[in-house]
A and B are shown apart, each in its own frame.
Chain A
Amino acid sequence: MSLTPYHELKARERIAVIADAGSFREILPPPERVMSTYLPKLGIPVSFDDGLAIGHATIGGKPVYLAAQVGQFVGGSVGEVHSAKLVGLLKSAARDKIPCVFLIESGGVRLHEGSSGEIGIAEAIRAVFSCRAAGATTLAVIGSDIGAYGGMGILSSCCDFRLMTEHGRLGISGPIVIEKWMGKQAFDSANRALVWKTSGGKTRYVLGDADLLVNDSADSVRAGIISFLSKSAKPDLAMVEARQASLEARLEKFGQISDPDEIWKTCGITDIAAASLAEAEDFAKSFHPQNS
């Protein structure tokens, strides 16, 4: 299983390869049957874990709280129970002052549960900052094809760090929504290269939104996670002032561009084709991110 590309692994398989062998103790496991009460009313199948497996584990010997979203289940979307599990896990991490690692695979709020998932994600975002205030590192691992979108994109952006693979995407509006709004001429959601160049790990890394870009393997993702477990990025005025300046500079430098290749070129990537094909860690070595 450790040879399977990370992006092809299911949530529980990811936990099995990321956590130290046998260390994962699931909280509210499937037999507890803590499930959605909305979905049955809509005639939609429920899942025992509401699409989120959470628990305590060690990674590289270090205790962590770990969560993995099941992208196949209603698009990994976040409903009332799913978000409550996230909040409970984050509060546990803040209480115990240990890291909270999220293996993200989600389109955002679960529409079928309306505002309950929306409020739940807002609560989770507050809980992320409680962790950061308590010195409990929060890490968003974005390495699945579904990516981290909508409210989960926002939550990922509030964590101390973002670890991405080339397959991961970080965004707010998904490609189909963009195509519907702007028209197929302006944005063709079937153009995978364009979609990934717009929101995928390599571009996010080049712009400084991903703190680390790793290869699409369980070993690389695990090693990447371990590298963050003893770090934190406590928000303070100096940090956000620097970020404000860098985000303003980004808009000024690239605001008129619509082609991601232009960003890559401006960042010093001369052979776009080679860079597109390059393995993530080789790409990261050669092309230094914009100042974040």
Chain B
Amino acid sequence: MTTADLLAHFFGASATGITISNKIATGYAKVGDQDVCVIGTVDGTYIDNAAALQMSEQVLDCVRSKPGVPIVMLVDSEGQEPNRTAEMLGLPVYFGHLLTCLQVAREAGHKLITVATGKAIGGAFICYGMFADSIYALDSATVGLMPVEAMSAVTKIPVAILEELSKTLPALEFGAAPFALLGGVKAVWPTDETLADKLSAAIAAATPEDTRAALGKERGGRPQAYDVQQRVLAESAR
């Protein structure tokens, strides 16, 4: 599916309000009758310092000029391209700034909703998409830390062993469905004509509380996280 088709599925004719420059989407559109701000990555692009600034500038524009308008974050990114200049100029700080802008938006009353539409990998996802009030993924999205082959190359654990383990450990499986079992996304959506309605409903239902750990426990994908967090809170209160 082309980017244009994807945007049309979510935003209909209002997708014309979205500009794509250097594979970074920014602008304003409508989901049903609701005005929304849109930021995101398309075509599996890499996120570098400049791309982060493109998105943060859009967030700031929204905070300045569009009170109460929800921010929809689309994710289709390969991650960050390893680059000496990007690192020298402080890439983590650019990511931190984007996240801080999103926090300012949240505190000003803007809801934050993410849909992973394609690749949603590691740092590219953490630096904006995973910060939302509610996070969703298309069933075709490749969501997770990294594919098994890459994991194997770095850890030196054979692919066969990782693949066998991933059958019982969804954390090691790359994809939208296992990521949902971990509580990483609220739900997985098929790419069909109901996307705009689903996004509308998601925006309406969004609350700022981070419920991912509880969800991961409930669904069984992350059995320890919630309990450990709660134990720390209980012990620190004593």
- Let me know if chains A and B touch directly in the complex, using CB atoms closer than 8 Å: yes
Given A91-B229, A154-B95, A240-B60, do A187 and B84 touch, yes or no (CB 8 Å)? Answer: yes
Instruction: Type the 1/0 row for A137-150, where 1 means its CB is closer than 8 Å to any CB of B.
Output: 00000000000101
- Interface pair A84/B104, CB less than 8 Å apart: no
CA of A267 to CA of B14, assembled, Å? 46
CA of A151 to CA of B96, assembled, Å? 10
Given A109-B145, A254-B89, do A114 and B231 touch, yes or no (CB 8 Å)? Answer: no
Task: Of the listed stretches A5-13, A121-129, A217-225, A274-282, name the one at the interface; the rest are far from the partner chain.
Answer: A121-129
CA of A151 to CA of B225, assembled, Å? 17
B99 CB contact (under 8 Å) in A56, A91, A158, A241:
A158
- Interface pair A157/B235, CB less than 8 Å apart: no
Question: For the complex, is B57 an interface residue (Cβ under 8 Å from A)?
Answer: yes
Interface size of A by Cβ–Cβ distance < 8 Å?
A: 86
- Interface pair A178/B231, CB less than 8 Å apart: no
B161 neighbours in A (Cβ, 8 Å)? 42
Interface size of B by Cβ–Cβ distance < 8 Å?
A: 81
Question: For the complex, is B111 an interface residue (Cβ under 8 Å from A)?
Answer: no
Task: Of the listed stretches B17-25, B48-56, B194-202, name the one at the interface; the rest are far from the partner chain.
Answer: B48-56
A178 neighbours in B (Cβ, 8 Å)? 82-84, 87
Shortest distance between the CB of A56 and any CB in chain B (Å)? 6
Question: For the complex, is A167 an interface residue (Cβ under 8 Å from B)?
Answer: no
CA of A4 to CA of B143, assembled, Å? 44
- Interface pair A172/B87, CB less than 8 Å apart: yes
Count chain A CB atoms within 10 A of each CB in B151, B172, B228 and give the residue with the most: B228
B96 neighbours in A (Cβ, 8 Å)? 154, 156-158
* Overall SS of chain B's interface: helix
B169 CB contact (under 8 Å) in A38, A81, A250:
A38
Question: For the complex, is A255 an interface residue (Cβ under 8 Å from B)?
Answer: yes
Given A84-B225, A116-B171, A180-B82, do A199 and B87 touch, yes or no (CB 8 Å)? Answer: yes
A156 neighbours in B (Cβ, 8 Å)? 92, 96
- Interface pair B84/A122, CB less than 8 Å apart: no
Given A80-B225, A158-B100, do A251 and B212 touch, yes or no (CB 8 Å)? Answer: no
Question: For the complex, is B27 an interface residue (Cβ under 8 Å from A)?
Answer: no
Given A89-B236, A116-B171, A119-B222, do A244 and B212 touch, yes or no (CB 8 Å)? Answer: no
Question: For the complex, is A69 an interface residue (Cβ under 8 Å from B)?
Answer: no
CA of A247 to CA of B90, assembled, Å? 9
- Interface pair B64/A27, CB less than 8 Å apart: no
Instruction: Type the 1/0 row for A76-90, where 1 means its CB is closer than 8 Å to any CB of B.
Output: 000011011101110
Question: For the complex, is A166 an interface residue (Cβ under 8 Å from B)?
Answer: no
A115 neighbours in B (Cβ, 8 Å)? 143-145, 170-172, 178-179, 182, 184
B104 neighbours in A (Cβ, 8 Å)? 235-237, 240
- Would you list 10 pairs from A and B whose C-beta atoms are within 8 A, ordered by A residue? A38-B171, A84-B225, A114-B151, A119-B130, A150-B122, A150-B123, A154-B92, A172-B95, A247-B49, A257-B85
Given contacts A92-B232, A95-B233, A116-B222, 10 further A-B contacts (CB under 8 A): A27-B236, A87-B213, A119-B183, A157-B93, A170-B90, A178-B82, A182-B83, A237-B63, A250-B90, A255-B85
